[in-house]
Amino acid sequence: MGGGAQQRPEPALVVAAAYAAAGGLAGLISLLLGRNPVACDGWLGARGLSSVLLSVGLGLPLGSATIAITRVVVQRSRWAHALHAALRPTVSGTGDAALFAVAAASSAGEELLFRGLLVPIIGVVASSLVFGGLHQVRGRARWGWMGWATVMGLLFGTLFAATGSLAGPLVAHAAINHSNLRFLRDNDPHGRPRALGGLLRR
């Protein structure tokens, strides 16, 4: 027989590529419709660099607060605990670079699609309902996860529509995804700690 078997690409990188493709397509559609995929006429009237700085300035605390709240919700809510347990196998053993790629690509892809493309067309509320509805999982975490995603969609969409820049939602979303993916990978929902403060896995 010939050479060794072909090595399969890491699943996380396949996911990252799919998100990147979706974001690229959404951006292209926005351009074809004559719209800027990362900017709109914001409610607050900010333009140019002021719009970007305002968006990022509001996005950073939004991301930080969401990360902190996520930890509490996972510990105290049954649906979030169940979601953590269900999703953890998908990132178990994934390296830091791959997690970063997924976080960056997923946040960019979703923001370009749901905020950059859909908010100017169907509005903040409708785009957030679509965003929440597409966050589907089986089991008891379904409705909680859909509700959580809908609220986050409303926050990201409002930030975009108010400031006129997608920079803040992008930064916040990427920070949330990266932090939560690492938390998902590194924390056993059944309470088994990692050895030596996380340097070695049990």
User: Is 60 contained in some domain?
Assistant: yes
Helix 167-186 × helix 48-76 angle, to 10°: 30
User: Is 133 contained in some domain?
Assistant: yes
Q: How many structural domains are present in the chain? A: 1
CA–CA separation, 27 and 48 (whole Å)? 19
pTM of the model: 0.88
The string of pLDDT tens digits covering residues 129-173 is 999 999 887 777 889 999 999 999 999 999 999 999 999 999 999
User: Is 114 contained in some domain?
Assistant: yes
User: Is 113 contained in some domain?
Assistant: yes
User: Is 117 contained in some domain?
Assistant: yes
Q: Choose among 157, 78, 75: nearest CA to 122.
A: 157
The string of pLDDT tens digits covering residues 111-139 is 999 999 999 999 999 999 999 999 887 77
pLDDT the model gives residue 202: 37
User: Is 15 contained in some domain?
Assistant: no
Token readout for 14 is 């396949």
Rounded to the nearest 5°, which phi and psi values hold at 136? -110, 130
Rounded to the nearest 5°, which phi and psi values hold at 91? -120, 0
Domain of residue 67: give its range: 51-189
User: Is 21 contained in some domain?
Assistant: no
The string of pLDDT tens digits covering residues 64-100 is 999 999 999 998 989 898 889 888 888 888 899 999 9
Token readout for 181 is 């993916």
